Amino acid sequence: MKYYIALYQKLKEIYFSESSKVNDLVLLCPSLRLYEMEDLTLLKPLSLITDPSQIAGSILKKQQVSYELNSLPSSDKYWDLNPNNTLFDAYREILNYAGVKDLEQGLETLLASENDKLIRDGKETPEYKAYVKHMKEYEKQLTFIEDHLAQFDEKMTEEEKRNWSDQLTLITLKKDMALANWKIKGNKEFIEEALQVQNKLSETDRFLDLFQSVKNYFDASEKTDVTALSAIHDIHFIPYDFMENESGWRNLFLDKNEMESLFTKAKADSQHLPAQILDIEYDEQYIESIEFDYAFIHLKRGWFNKQIFSSTCFQWNESQPISDGETISTDFKLPAFPKVMLLVKNLKINLVDAISEDQVINQDQLIHFGPVILKQQLFINDRTKQKFLKTVTNKGTIRSDQLNYMIRKADVAETHTLPEKPMKEDSGIAESAIRTRSIPFYRRMKPMAVNLPGRESPSMESAGPNREALSLEMLPFKGGGLFTKIYVNQIEQASRVFFNIHDSNSGKGIYKCSLSVKGTDNSRVYEVETDQNGQISVTIPVGSFEMEMRADGYKALIKNFRLENANPVTLTFSMDREEVKFKSYFLVGMVCERIPKMPQ
């Protein structure tokens, strides 16, 4: 988590270097939030979705993702998903309970009392015509004064200066006379009083039009079926094409020294980070550097208009205030709203040269980078010979019962203090980077309690005094080091399985095909990818397994197989080509904008 926080800190610094908005708040997302391209594509307006197959049967899934990305922050220390407290729910309540009825009644009163001071029988009144005539004469005299003042020159003789001064006095007298005529003959006070009423009517009318148009959006969705409701969940992404190409994406490389420095800065600015995360010690000695692509994706919603709050016509008389302009908490109806996603893709964890393949492919361990799970496979760059790890980007694997079971086994193992293993001779690195603690990571934090109107959330075991509540749904990271040991109670028979994945048409091996192997009658999970020849071998215990094969440009393939004994096995599968992209994005943080203080 240490270097994961460093990654977040770097993105935070970059964002503020490009944006100077004082109401922006960059918040860490401490739990794993992985979105695939198909998830985010669903949120686009229908007019921007070119593939009809993506629309069919996706409405409920679209709502789920929309509720997640519209979650309101409940703290100024982090942002996480909270479908019980969303932007459209809070915004809809504000629209329903704002003091618009009083405003509408006041507008009707003004309209009823309106007289014919300005317009009579569809024509301008004589009083208004006189007002305009004398106003123009007064403005003309002001122009004469400005022109005369511009003619003054210090080089003029004393006689010329006296003449200039006498002319200024005469022009000023004409200006005063024009103002007097404007007041008396031009009915200045009488007409301007009518103009003030007219301006107030116009401002109120514009506000009510804006307010009603937004409210109609919600009212229409409640009276119609779920299909119409899906329009509320539309999000316009900026840049809109970040999923189709590299628009908005930039590459970043962070070495160990810079990550240490960034983590130090994050700790110094700990008022905006949960103490539960910063207090944990980590052993990340195997990490040499990280590389990744990042983008700041702006979220625009057609139904949300914050100008409503800045209008002088807006009224709010409810007991719960909307915002105080500073505090982010559930004490306010809408203290801030999410507007920019901090997304990361193509994350690579570069390792020190001395690490061995056996340390990585050990089937009795999990590999972590903060909340991100890494593949159980050591990759080596052909050109630089740099050793690195890749992230698991298959949500089905991450959310599987088998993986959660393995994480729980790792938690149980960490509750017992174990002696440190000896160092390998001449290696300079311990055999494993296990750091044990008496209290697992998940027990030092408590889920975020959400109080609904008229209902109290069940009390959670306290994680200590003055600790921030933190939601940990989908947070697989439990260990303090890169590797987390999983202790197996019995010796398992294992077989060496050789996978061959090739193109169904050409017969050539598929490079970088992701294999997600999950046990159906055991708790084993493996995530690896094929080499240039479409091959990979993995040692897998005896049992039944389900394997999902995913590669860009190919249709996903799911197959089941069973290992009866420890004999080596070769499994060959062919995949059909299809224009399917499996890009995945990690949500590292969210930029939220504070709502200014609302007058009560």
Residue-range definition of the domain harbouring residue 247: 2-96+235-483+585-594
Query: Are residues 416 and 281 part of one domain?
Result: yes
Query: Are residues 472 and 502 part of one domain?
Result: no
- The predicted structure's pLDDT at residue 213: 66
Helix, strand or coil, per DSSP, at residue 32:
coil
Query: Are residues 241 and 265 part of one domain?
Result: yes
Sites in the chain below the pLDDT cut of 50:
103-113, 225-228, 416-478
Spell out where 145-266 has E strands: 236-238, 250-255
Non-local (6+) Cβ contacts of 23 within 8 A are 325, 593, 594, 596
**Cis bond upstream, residue 30 (ω within 30):** no
Does the reported pTM lie above 0.85? no
- The predicted structure's pLDDT at residue 445: 34
Tokens 């329903």 sit at which residue? Answer: 96
- Rounded Cα–Cα distance for residues 478 and 370 (Å): 9
Query: Are residues 573 and 589 part of one domain?
Result: no
- The predicted structure's pLDDT at residue 576: 93
Residue 240 domain-assigned (yes or no):
yes
| Helical (H) or strand (E) element with 178 | helix 158-184
Query: Are residues 356 and 473 part of one domain?
Result: yes
DSSP state of 458: P
Query: Are residues 125 and 88 part of one domain?
Result: no
Number of domains forming the structure of the chain: 3
Residue 204 domain-assigned (yes or no):
no
Query: Are residues 523 and 385 part of one domain?
Result: no
- The predicted structure's pLDDT at residue 49: 62
Residue 215 domain-assigned (yes or no):
no
Provide the token pair at 429: 């690195």
Residue 242 domain-assigned (yes or no):
yes
Residue 508 domain-assigned (yes or no):
yes
- The predicted structure's pLDDT at residue 281: 64
Query: Are residues 283 and 376 part of one domain?
Result: yes
Residue 465 domain-assigned (yes or no):
yes
Residue 511 domain-assigned (yes or no):
yes
Provide the token pair at 265: 């800065």
